[in-house]
Amino acid sequence: ESNPHLSTPDDQIVHIDLQKGARTPDFAEPMRELSHGTLNFLHTTDTHGWYLGHVNQKQYSSDWGDFISFAEQLKNCTAIEGGDLLLVDTGDRHDGNGLSDLTFPHGQVSETIFMNADYDLVTVGNHELYEASVSRYEYENMVPHYGPRYISTNVEYLKDDNTWTIFGNSTHRYFQTEINGYHVLALSFMFDFTGGNERVKVTPISEMVKKQWLSDLLSYYSQNKQVDILVVFGHLPVSHQWTEAGLLHHYLRTFFPDTFIQYFGGHSHIRDFAMYDNRSSALQSGRYCETVGFLSLSDFTSVETADSEVHRRYIDFNLHSFMHHTGKNTLSSFETDLGSSVSRRIASAAREMRLSDSWGYVPHNFYMSAADYYNSHDKKSLLRFLQDKIITQLKPELCELKGRQPLYKNTHNNSRSILINSGSIRYDLYKGDFTRNALFTVSPFSNKWKVVPNVPKDIAAQIQGILNAGDYIITGASTSRKHLPDLLSPYQKATNARVASAKMLNSHLDGGIPSMSRDQHVLHPIDTDKKSLSYGYVTHDDFGVYGDDTIHKELPIFRVPNVIASFEGGANSTRTPYTDLVFYDFIQDHILWALKVACGGNVKLYNDLAGNVSYYNDCSSKYNVGHLLKKYVQDHWPYK
């Protein structure tokens, strides 16, 4: 690689500090600068345990130790220019990476790595709320570690003495910044999450705005205290389409009509920036340690002065970006003692967990939304690959239920269709070693498999179509599925929304180019030399298309289906007219809903089918999608 920094004696250190097998970034990539203000923020969200970095992707190959060095160095840089720097995290710190998911509870080791970062504001995400053991660990370790800096305004925790308390140190934090002495009032709100365990409670924003105690608190601060800025951070998307964000902003403005409000969001895993009015802005900083969000403000304290200056950057999570923005050109001058000790700690945790054990070599990248599932020739579609090659390896087997339930046998040679929700697929599969870590990154969920046996073929053939159809069918059906969890992840929903808006824009401009990005239509100085650019984020937000620090070529995006479905015909000669419908237990309610729709008025048929649902394979730690992938890699892509 042409890397001026690595030609120094320091190059050896690069290889020590990047985690095992990790690729060095391209230090020649073109970069947009940060513009410092008097109040600056670094924001992370939805890290999901990726503290090891993305070893197969040079663009995101830094680890959490590098991030800690970056934050420390940037704090020095902004201080020299007379600015404060605050660090903010908006939750979801596990589920999706071996480092966090190989321990019980999830996050037991990875949280201790995360906690080395000196956050000023930390809060809880929905992934801290699914499992009671995880919520307890978070409440008993992370909350005391960050003390007054860990807050939540609308999430509560049930303590052992059976009393409810706020999930954090307080509902708010009021403090002064170190350098400029700004008076900050911080609040934290999570989206309306209903899937939590029995020890947690989320009060939706629509209910919060009616709470007397909250209105008393806001009145008190607005009338009795100096508030230079309201910082509202939480596990909640910042998009204009997310109605809870608009409701919250409208409510806060009734107490603080002129105060600058800075929002930080998360959950939908995208890079995003929005302006809600001319004295507020909102930043969302992606996912999985791919992005560090940077936001700076100047002239924001008084409505009388000139317009506030707002600047945002989405920083790629690699050493090139981190060193560039802190003006360091050797690794030894960049790394801090704490940063390098955290890198070493991660390496030893990864060794203990054997995260880099690998079973074969993935020959090329497979993409969830950057390849077209609907094009059967698109060899890079992860969803099509999973559908055609991976889930078809499933066999009936019982683990927990062994001896308690008969093992399913396809005695009549039925055909078989296996369905999974696309939301269970969390990340692309990249070219390179298929490691233990990849078992968790592509699909971390430990779901079990169920079967509806003997479904008439014409009924079975409709299920995927019904589940993938647009909302108009769903709301029009007599049996609404509104109460059911989303089949898509929030990220996939955001992707589909982007595809839809790009289609609208394209059809408006030139008669319709399916699934092309808007970047095609934006005149951009760097478009002239796209060949030399690498693929990566090109973010479209309320400020335009220049927010990403590294100048990339944009990957195409394609619509993601709600569910994917394999179909295996069985041997022709003796095939029955029935199909066994096999699916992840997470989507059982959806399957039954779709079955009911497909059965139409034939209530008896539906009742007979639904009454026969049983476990097909309950060995989740051996047969979930991650493990089926591993089996395929061992059989088809072993090391030579």
Q: Rank residues 130 and 175 by Cβ distance to ligand LLZGTKA7 and give the closer one.
A: 130
Q: Rank residues 37 and 96 by Cβ distance to ligand LLZGTKA7 and give the closer one.
A: 96
Q: What are phi and psi of 143, to 5 degrees?
A: -60, -50
Query: Which among 557, 556, 555, 537 has a CA at the least distance from the CA of 547?
Result: 537
Q: How far is the CB of 582 from ligand LLZGTKA7 (least distance, A)?
A: 16
Would you say 14 and 331 are in contact if contact means Cβ atoms under 8 Å apart? yes
Q: How far is the CB of 49 from ligand LLZGTKA7 (least distance, A)?
A: 12
* Integer Cα distance of 266 and 134 in angstroms: 19
Which of 257-276 are b and which e, b meaning 16 or more Cβ less than 10 Å from the residue's Cβ?
eebbbbbbbbbbbbbbbbeb
Q: Is 620 in the site for ligand LLZGTKA7 (CB under 6 A)?
A: no
Q: Rank residues 36 and 493 by Cβ distance to ligand LLZGTKA7 and give the closer one.
A: 493
Query: Which among 623, 571, 613, 567 has a CA at the least distance from the CA of 589?
Result: 613
Q: Rank residues 132 and 338 by Cβ distance to ligand LLZGTKA7 and give the closer one.
A: 132
Would you say 583 and 418 are in contact if contact means Cβ atoms under 8 Å apart? yes
Q: How far is the CB of 586 from ligand LLZGTKA7 (least distance, A)?
A: 4
Q: Rank residues 490 and 547 by Cβ distance to ligand LLZGTKA7 and give the closer one.
A: 490
Q: Is 485 in the site for ligand LLZGTKA7 (CB under 6 A)?
A: yes
Q: Which of 64, 288, 445, 623 binds ligand LLZGTKA7 (CB under 6 A)?
A: 445
Which region, judged by CB under 6 A, interacts with ligand LLZGTKA7, from 78-86, 380-388, 483-491, 615-623?
Answer: 483-491
The number of helices, as runs of H, and strands, as runs of E, in the chain is 21, 23
Neighbours of 125 (CB within 10 A): 27
Q: Which of 41, 366, 408, 586 binds ligand LLZGTKA7 (CB under 6 A)?
A: 586
DSSP 405: B
User: How many residues appear in the chain?
Assistant: 640
Q: Is 107 in the site for ligand LLZGTKA7 (CB under 6 A)?
A: no
Element of type H or E holding 265: strand 260-265
Q: Is 126 in the site for ligand LLZGTKA7 (CB under 6 A)?
A: yes
* Integer Cα distance of 65 and 17 in angstroms: 9
Which region, judged by CB under 6 A, interacts with ligand LLZGTKA7, from 26-34, 74-82, 488-496, 615-623?
Answer: 488-496
Q: How far is the CB of 585 from ligand LLZGTKA7 (least distance, A)?
A: 9
Pairing between β-strand 309-316 and β-strand 291-298 as defined by DSSP bridges = antiparallel
Q: Rank residues 261 and 560 by Cβ distance to ligand LLZGTKA7 and give the closer one.
A: 560
Distance of CA 63 to the CA centre of its chain: 17
Q: How far is the CB of 584 from ligand LLZGTKA7 (least distance, A)?
A: 7
Which region, judged by CB under 6 A, interacts with ligand LLZGTKA7, from 50-58, 380-388, 406-414, 484-492?
Answer: 484-492
Element of type H or E holding 594: helix 588-599
Q: Rank residues 65 and 490 by Cβ distance to ligand LLZGTKA7 and give the closer one.
A: 490
The sign one gets for the Cα dihedral 241, 243, 247, 248 is: negative
Q: What is the largest distance, in Å, between two alpha-carbon atoms of the chain?
A: 83
Which region, judged by CB under 6 A, interacts with ligand LLZGTKA7, from 24-32, 50-58, 479-487, 523-531?
Answer: 479-487
Query: Which among 609, 577, 580 has a CA at the least distance from the CA of 593?
Result: 609
Q: How far is the CB of 476 from ligand LLZGTKA7 (least distance, A)?
A: 22
The radius of gyration of the chain from alpha carbons, rounded to an integer in Å, stands at 25
Interacting residues with ligand LLZGTKA7 between 535 and 574 (CB under 6 A): none
Q: How far is the CB of 251 from ligand LLZGTKA7 (least distance, A)?
A: 24
Interacting residues with ligand LLZGTKA7 between 401 and 440 (CB under 6 A): 421, 423-424
Tokens of 328: 């360091």
Interacting residues with ligand LLZGTKA7 between 175 and 194 (CB under 6 A): none
Residue type, 477: A
Q: Rank residues 83 and 561 by Cβ distance to ligand LLZGTKA7 and give the closer one.
A: 561
Q: What is the DSSP string of 304-344?
A: SSSPPEEEEEEEESSHHHHHHHTT--SHHHH--HHHHHHHH
* Integer Cα distance of 328 and 325 in angstroms: 8
Q: Is 386 in the site for ligand LLZGTKA7 (CB under 6 A)?
A: no
* Integer Cα distance of 190 and 46 in angstroms: 13
Q: How far is the CB of 485 from ligand LLZGTKA7 (least distance, A)?
A: 5
Q: Rank residues 434 and 445 by Cβ distance to ligand LLZGTKA7 and give the closer one.
A: 445
Q: Determine the size of the site formed for ligand LLZGTKA7 (CB under 6 A).
A: 14
Q: How far is the CB of 46 from ligand LLZGTKA7 (least distance, A)?
A: 7
Q: Is 623 in the site for ligand LLZGTKA7 (CB under 6 A)?
A: no
Q: Is 47 in the site for ligand LLZGTKA7 (CB under 6 A)?
A: no
Would you say 593 and 479 are in contact if contact means Cβ atoms under 8 Å apart? yes
Q: Which residue is nearest to ligand LLZGTKA7 (CB)?
A: 423
Q: Is 488 in the site for ligand LLZGTKA7 (CB under 6 A)?
A: yes
C-alpha distances (whole Å) from 408 to each of 354, 448, 625 are 35, 14, 20
DSSP 504: H
CA angle 235, 239, 243 (to 5 degrees): 80
Q: Is 490 in the site for ligand LLZGTKA7 (CB under 6 A)?
A: yes
Q: How far is the CB of 198 from ligand LLZGTKA7 (least distance, A)?
A: 17
* Integer Cα distance of 105 and 108 in angstroms: 6
Residues that bind ligand LLZGTKA7 (CB under 6 A): 126-127, 421, 423-424, 445, 447, 485-490, 586
